[in-house]
Amino acid sequence: MTLEKDPLNLIIAGVGGQGNILASQIVATAGIKEGLYVTVGETYGASQRGGPVMSHIRFSARAQCGPLIPEGEADIIVGLEPIEALRIIGDFGNPKTRVIVSPRPIYPIWVLSGQAKYPPVEEVLQKLGELVAEVRVVKAIQEGETGLVANVVIVGDLAGSGMLPIALQNFEDSIREIFAPKDLALNLQAFRKGVELARGKAVASTPIKTRKRK
């Protein structure tokens, strides 16, 4: 098997407590099932709830990669939180990067304490759009729904988007392997909702901008 781009570099960025690690584990396990070398570098430990958390996921058909993506080399960025998606563009983004982002903000402590302002989400998405090739905005959950599986919905959207060379079946097998039986149905349902969002079968997904590369 060969990859169009090798290694293929994916970053999942979010906030501690959002299920970033689990999301990366699902994606990476699916990659292994696809027969790829997958490396996941995770930043956590000091990231108590509220700190930024980032996973670097690297796929290769040739060899095991190092756990960190070099500067400017992210091919895909999945943002579980809008400003966290924007935050990592400076270090890892490039004009060809494609972004999937949840528009739901989680306010940093400095915003709560009035020392900093959280910019309007539309503006954050606009800025993202100016820096990368594509931004898909995915409303993983509606008001009032539980946020517990939002990460899995977004993984579903990533799987359904076709950005990764991994079959849907391998994602589902990965989810079956990772979750305890009692949580399986809910997470499979969330995953499939995400896949449908990516395929335009559900309304909550709004691709706001697709810029043609020059």
Partner 1 sequence: MVTIELNQPGKTVLMMGDEAIARGAIEAGVDFCASYPGTPATEIPESLARVADRFNIYAEWSTNEIVAFEAATAASLAGLRALVAMKQNGVNVCSDFLMTVNLAGTNGGLVFVAADDPSAISSSNEQDSRSYARYADLPLLEPADFQEAKDMTKWAFEVSEKLGLPCILRSVTRLSHSRGNVKLGELPEKKRTAKFEGVYISGAFVAAQHAALHQKLEQAREDFEPSRFNFYVGPRKAKFVIVTCGSGWLYSREAVAALGLEGKVGILKIGTTWPLPEKFIIDHLKNVTEVFVVEEVDPFLEQNLKILLAEQAKTLGPIEVYGAKSGHRPPFGELNQDKVITALTSIKGLQARTRDEKYIEKAKEALTYIPPRMPTFCTGCPHRASLWAIKSALKLDGRDGFVTGDIGCYSIGAGPAGFFQLKTIHCMGAGIGLANGFGKLEKFGFNQPVIAVCGDSTFYHAAIPALINARVNNSNVLMVVLDNGGTAMTGFQPHPGSGCDALGRPAPTVEIENICKAIGVEVRVRDPFEISQAVQDIYDMLQENGPRVMVFRRRCFRIEAKEKLQKKYYVDQTKCIGDDCGCARFCSRVFNCPGIIWDQEAQRAKIDEMVCTGCGVCATLCPRGAIIVRGAAS
Considering beta carbons, is residue 129 or 207 the nearer one to partner 1? Answer: 129
Tell me: does residue 129 bind partner 1 (CB under 8 A): no
206: contact with partner 1 by CB under 8 A: no
Asked if 13 and 87 count as a contact pair (C-beta separation under 8 A), the reply is yes
User: For partner 1, what does the binding mask look like between residues 74 and 93, x meaning CB under 8 A?
Assistant: ---------xx-xx-xx--x
Q: Can you tell me which residue has the tokens 């079959």?
A: 167
Considering only residues 157 to 186 of the shown chain, the ones binding partner 1 according to CB under 8 A are 177
- Distance between CA atoms of 90 and 37, rounded to whole angstroms? 27
User: In terms of Cα–Cα distance, which of 35, 136, 162, 151 is closest to 77?
Assistant: 136
112-119 contacts at long range (C-beta below 8 A, 24 or more positions apart): 118/83, 119/83
Which of 1, 2, 4, 46 is in the footprint of partner 1 by CB under 8 A? 46
Q: Between 109 and 185, whose beta carbon lies closer to partner 1? A: 109
Stretch of 31-39, 162-170, 188-196, 198-206 lying at the interface with partner 1 (CB under 8 A): 31-39
DSSP state of 72: T
